[in-house]
Amino acid sequence: MLSSVSRALTFLCSILYAILGGILFLFPERLAPVFAWKVTPFMTMTIGAWCLGNAWLAWISARRWQWRLVYTALVYLWLFGTLETVILIVFRDKVRLVHPVAWLYVATLLLNVITAIVGFRDLMRIKPSYERFGPPSAAWLRGSALAFVVFVGFLSIYGLVAQIGWPATRGGIFPEEMSLFTLRSFAAFYFSLAVGALPLIREDNLPVILNHSIANYALVILITAAALVYMRLFDFVERPGGLLYFGAYLIVGIPLFFIFSKYGTGLKNE
């Protein structure tokens, strides 16, 4: 398995993401004007949901800490921190490091990048081989993973190349207009999700799929909660694409609840 240093860094990531995500999620109206770049309260609360979701994912990964079980979640976490840091660098002229919450955002991403570097170094050192363990995964679960990767991957690629004024960039799906900075940040998040889930398409071990799903479940719940809080921003008649934003999370979140009830979350002693 990866080193104890890597595990400690993952726990620390969980703590910082929980602090950052908690204040962004609970006080979006107050913190939007002083965030690291120009965002709306809804965007601020959604970014808070990402951070709280990352806190849960990092915590559950560090607790279970078996590479064969948590590797897909760690790939997502490492990639998220790296890509969001790259976005900050690309748009560095737009970054506003005035309020402590902006500095906390940057510090949390930097810790995430350090965690990724240490983890990747450990990975190159131990070179783990693929293991078969636990019950086999069903073909329909792997098919669901494929559908998820294709859909979320498309959103991420579109968000990484789209320019302002392109279809869906002016409130067509997300109910508010985004700057390129925000659009690229959302795209980096979706790209990390898609790449993290990519190995599940051929994953034969059911516990890995279950662990990945429960590790990401807080993201689904909290992003949906943020959208419900700002439901007034959606106009499903004039901009029906908003249904896609809601529907994507509900289509993933509701079935997973029943899957966990039937199969557990990937631990043998459940």
> pLDDT value at position 129?
87
The phi-psi region of residue 127 (left if phi > 0; otherwise alpha if psi is between -120 and 50; otherwise beta) is left
Residue 55 buriedness (CB in 10 A; 0-12 / 13-18 / 19+)? buried
pLDDT tier for residue 268 given thresholds of 50, 70 and 90: low
Is 60 exceeded by the pLDDT of residue 54? yes
> pLDDT value at position 49?
98
Contact 233, 171 (CB under 8 A): no
Rounded alpha-carbon distances, angstroms, from residue 200 to 128, 140, 226: 17, 11, 28
Q: Who contacts 95 (Cβ-Cβ below 8 Å, separation ≥6)?
A: 36, 37, 88, 102, 106
What share of the chain in percent tops pLDDT 70? 99
Is 70 exceeded by the pLDDT of residue 270? no
Is 60 exceeded by the pLDDT of residue 56? yes
Please compute the mean of the pLDDT values over residues 81-106 and round it to a whole number: 97
Q: Check residues 108 and 133 and name the one with the higher pLDDT.
A: 108
Please tell me the pTM assigned to this model. Answer: 0.94
Tell me which DSSP letter residue 170 carries: B
| Sequence spans of domains, the chain | 4-263
Contact 57, 218 (CB under 8 A): yes
User: Which range is least confidently modeled, 65-69, 133-137, 247-251?
Assistant: 247-251
Please compute the mean of the pLDDT values over residues 48-66 and round it to a whole number: 97
Tell me which DSSP letter residue 34 carries: G
Q: CA–CA separation, 194 vs 76, rounded Å? A: 8
- Which helix (DSSP H) or strand (DSSP E) does residue 187 occupy? helix 180-197
Is 70 exceeded by the pLDDT of residue 269? no
Q: Check residues 257 and 45 and name the one with the higher pLDDT.
A: 45
What value does the CA radius of gyration of the chain take, rounded to a whole number of Å? 18
Q: Which amino acid appears at position 193 of this protein?
A: L
Rounded alpha-carbon distances, angstroms, from residue 147 to 143, 154, 179, 201, 259: 6, 11, 28, 9, 17
Half-sphere exposure of 115 (CA within 13 A, CB side): 29
For residue 113, give the nearest of 72, 83, 81 by alpha carbon.
81
Q: Who contacts 205 (Cβ-Cβ below 8 Å, separation ≥6)?
A: 68, 131, 132, 133, 134, 135, 136, 137
Mean pLDDT taken over the chain: 93
Contact 78, 115 (CB under 8 A): yes
Q: What is the pLDDT of residues 159-213, one digit of tens each?
A: 999 988 887 677 778 889 899 999 999 999 999 999 999 999 999 999 999 999 9
Give me 82's structure tokens.
């790296």
Contact 187, 156 (CB under 8 A): yes
Please compute the mean of the pLDDT values over residues 69-96 and round it to a whole number: 97
> pLDDT value at position 51?
98
Q: What is the pLDDT of residues 205-254, one digit of tens each?
A: 999 999 999 999 999 999 999 999 999 999 888 888 888 887 788 888 88
Q: CA–CA separation, 189 vs 194, rounded Å? A: 9
Packed helices 206-229 and 139-161: angle between N→C axes, nearest 10 degrees: 50
